[in-house]
Amino acid sequence: MAHFETFCERVQKMLADERGVLRQIERVRELVSDLASTPGWFEEFMRKMIVDRAFIESQKPSMWPNEITLYRSSDKSFIALAYIWDAKLADIVHDHGSWGVIGTLCAQLKERKYERLDDGKREGYAELRETEGKVYGPGQTTFVLPLNEGLHAMENPTDGIAISVNVYGKTIGRGYTQFFDPAKKTVTRVYPPRALKEVLAAKALAALGTGRAEAFLMEALSVPQPSHLREEFEAALRKLRA
């Protein structure tokens, strides 16, 4: 654990000293590569995941069930996560709300990178082109940029467990992730569990279509809301009134 704590301290100091994003990514890749090359520290986190009730309960619900939170910086400048990839597990193509560095800790992970070809103005539509496919072994890293500059999908091509250590910088606070289907040329907003419940509640009110449902949506819009929820509430209201 001492090795990981030192890693977090070094990342924290570097981000405070280095302002250029590309340089920050370069430096974090160096630090993650070193961390992922010496996996002994990770065993203690796995022990905590099966015996430390406080640590288990500290894990926030995520869109990715294989995600484990290792560290959150107090100033929200970065977060360190681990992902445990079961045999042949493949992720869906998605974007990110921040820059990120992904390091392989165990086995191998394959990444496919994409670029977006459309202008994003047509709701639910996205045209992607795969630009790169590469397999990473222990200690090797890759990176992503925010939004359309960081479209990718990860997968475990092996028949055993693979593990990645991911470090993400400060989020832009958009509130959702976009999932892409390159074959169907679709894009979908995906919310974390708590926000998803609020979005689904608004959609349910629109589906019920009663006078009270409209009043409830208006009530929700009369108080401060994150921009992504306001957009969903407004969309539900438009659908109810149509």
Q: What is the pLDDT of residues 35-83, one digit of tens each?
A: 999 999 999 999 999 999 999 999 988 999 999 999 999 999 999 999 9
Asked whether residue 186 falls in the same domain as residue 205, the answer is no
Asked whether residue 59 falls in the same domain as residue 154, the answer is yes
Asked whether residue 39 falls in the same domain as residue 110, the answer is yes
Asked whether residue 74 falls in the same domain as residue 135, the answer is yes
Q: What is the pLDDT of residues 86-118, one digit of tens each?
A: 999 999 999 999 999 999 999 999 999 999 999
Asked whether residue 32 falls in the same domain as residue 51, the answer is yes
pLDDT at 210: 82
| Tally of domains in the chain | 2
pTM of whole model > 0.85?
Answer: yes
Task: Give the whole-angstrom CA distance, residue 79 versus residue 231.
Answer: 27
CA distances from 122 to 118, 126, 181 (A): 9, 8, 15
- Domain C-terminal end among 190, 218, 233: 190
pLDDT at 1: 65
Residue 203 confidence (pLDDT) above 90: yes
Asked whether residue 107 falls in the same domain as residue 212, the answer is no
User: Residue 123 corresponds to which tokens in the numbers above?
Assistant: 């709701």
CA distances from 47 to 1, 33, 143, 181 (A): 12, 23, 28, 37
Average pLDDT on 210-233 reads: 93
90: DSSP letter: B
Using CA atoms in the order 218, 224, 227, 233, what is the torsion angle rounded to 10 degrees? -20
Q: What is the CATH number of the domain that holds 18?
A: 2.60.120.10
Q: What is the pLDDT of residues 126-178, one digit of tens each?
A: 999 999 999 999 999 999 999 999 999 999 999 999 999 999 999 987 889 99
Asked whether residue 62 falls in the same domain as residue 141, the answer is yes
Asked whether residue 47 falls in the same domain as residue 117, the answer is yes
Higher pLDDT, 2 or 236: 236
Domain range enclosing 154: 2-190
Q: What are phi and psi of 191, to 5 degrees?
A: -105, 150
Asked whether residue 61 falls in the same domain as residue 132, the answer is yes
